[in-house]
Structure 1
């Protein structure tokens, strides 16, 4: 294994070496970029407390095909096309002492190749670094790409590294990530979204609802936002009659209403006893969300589309949400999520993280007040493990770290790869 000084001599900036013979590049018929690239000593001078260093990083661009094209209100209003796939950026890293971690970020419809490209630029900056210094490393990667900003694609690429580092830290401690963070509970209320999209006819939504509840899921979220609001109300009436009054029910308009429509629909939806109305307005309309939240009995939830803690702070400061819905891969990873969670708790907000239940289960379990976590079965083919759900709750696994490992199917869906450094 090369020490840091040796690697600095052998691989200067921009140099590329052939992959080591014991680790041939993964092909699967795709164009694969595999590099062994290392960097000079980090600016940080390690002291006696530095017991380990990052020696190897592997990036994978994985495209998950969806069995059925997915449509929400953005498709019905012509803003987007149906979603047919989800692009993932996976980061696997290892240290000189043999510890490993895995993390991921994702993009829907566009942006996946961009995340991979930016991550490929950043990865060499972590070689030789102490994996425990997660906060400092997040800042280092952020400044490495400062010219492209502190939100959006840039920090979503950083998120995959950050999540992998947290996974590694928890694995090294022998603890599930929730326990490392300090869990308030060992299970979290969960609701299903994937059965209530607008491309599904009402009869199919009802069948999906029955199946979800039978599987142990505790609540259901139904998409709304038809150009004709009466169609939403008819659909929701059928769902409520089908599941009964006691099952928690949410709706999601995916930013498709203007302020007057949101006000009218919000009043009409009061009779359904909803847990929340999600994204009734444009994600950045903090004032509109605040006015709506103040006028309705039904809680307003939003935040999933925001891409930084600073953007969420605008919502919080305006009183724009009763329930905040951050997405760790979108806002820069677990390090940033924890900052936002502290702000949300300080302002007595409820928490319902968006998507990526494999990550958010742990983060929700560590939130002081009772949260919700969103169940999506879309990602299941990517991992060898499954989340345990019963009695309306998703249970924190006993496995160390996030408790996930990449499946052979994920490897088969890989479109590009890049390796940096050398595995011990």
Structure 2
């Protein structure tokens, strides 16, 4: 086997908790399944080599799971020391087998994700290329839409103001949350937003899995008149047959996938034809390496792509997808990094910085709860 002279010398892990300015609620809170979200847990991985090359990556968890991701990463990170950092696919498999007894999805691969993203970041930096260019970009910018301004804890007046501010910033589309116990409230909220935006602004809704099949069918029909780009997560994330029936019955595209935690789960969704728009989350399915495997499956089926959250990573992956994608704008993570992504004319621009193009801020260091390093 051909090898390079360089070897991984150290892996540094950080457990970081990002506080949210305002507790955030979607339909899962209004239906009593969850409490408002007040913080996001991040697992950061920083990998360094004997020749001085470095890479950074991250995974995250909302509400629960952050300590578990960090603990699993601590157990497996030592398997990278002494390895050739270029052999990313082989190293992903090595890390996966190191934790094979806890499975190949969910928390175990999410711990791998931070390490995998760091290896891809390093590889792109070594090539002096943005990650999108290393992968083979189809475009230098990606359509972007804002989600953070449309949550259900915000009164409709604030949602309208947030939408206007997003458009003024250059964001191209607006997504609002639905899925409230009172479906009439959802329709009234949607009507107000559409009238505020006008007919030309791309608009999406997200029910966060809170409808049953009859409700989703009724709401889907009622929402047809608003010309939505998609209806997101109308049903339970694993109800592939239900999503497929909606996709076949409605003119409005069905989007889902963010809660699936492996390529295998996404493959089942694709096989069932349960989505017009697939929404994988690289940190949730194990990093860039499995995302690329999934993207090949999705492209083969001519699915639209709209990766969930983590725009700092997903901008690069969306830029490398053959069909015109969307990327989701959340400003929540910005305090963690020294850099900012540029948005113009409805699109998010791929940065010309090498790698994924981010470095950790001093604020991230202040929010760090634990650190671990293996050499």
TM-score by length of 1: 0.88
Aligned counterpart, 1:174: 128
Aligned counterpart, 2:183: 229
Residue in structure 2 matching 1:318, options 262, 272, 284? 272
CA contact (8 A) 2:3 2:84 kept: no
**1:236-315 matched pairs, under 5 angstroms:** 236-315=190-269
| Distance of 1:191 and 1:348 partners within structure 2 | 21
Aligned counterpart, 1:193: 147
| Distance of 2:90 and 2:3 partners within structure 1 | 15
**1:96-245 matched pairs, under 5 angstroms:** 96-245=50-199
| Distance of 2:149 and 2:129 partners within structure 1 | 33
| Distance of 1:176 and 1:48 partners within structure 2 | 25
Residue in structure 1 matching 2:290, options 336, 352, 372? 336
Deviations 1:356-391 (A, max 9, x none): 000000000000010000000000000000000010
| Distance of 2:91 and 2:70 partners within structure 1 | 18
Q: Displacement, 1:114?
A: 0.4
Q: Which 4+ stretches in 1 moved above 6 angstroms? A: none
Q: Displacement, 1:50?
A: 1.9
| Distance of 1:123 and 1:273 partners within structure 2 | 47
The answer to whether residue 40 in structure 2 is matched with residue 86 in structure 1 is yes
Q: Which runs of 5+ in 2 are unaligned?
A: none
| Distance of 1:105 and 1:246 partners within structure 2 | 35
| Distance of 1:138 and 1:225 partners within structure 2 | 37
TM-score by length of 2: 1.00
Paired residues, number? 375
| Distance of 2:5 and 2:271 partners within structure 1 | 41
Residue in structure 1 matching 2:31, options 74, 77, 95? 77
Q: Displacement, 1:279?
A: 0.1
Larger Rg: 1
Q: Secondary structure at the match of 1:147?
A: helix
Q: Secondary structure at the match of 1:138?
A: helix
Aligned counterpart, 2:15: 61
| Distance of 1:180 and 1:142 partners within structure 2 | 24
Q: Secondary structure at the match of 1:212?
A: helix
Deviations 1:68-127 (A, max 9, x none): 000000000000000000000000010001100000000000000000000000111100
| Distance of 2:232 and 2:162 partners within structure 1 | 20
Q: Secondary structure at the match of 2:11?
A: strand
Deviations 1:116-161 (A, max 9, x none): 0000001111000000000000000000000000000000000000
CA contact (8 A) 2:177 2:205 kept: yes
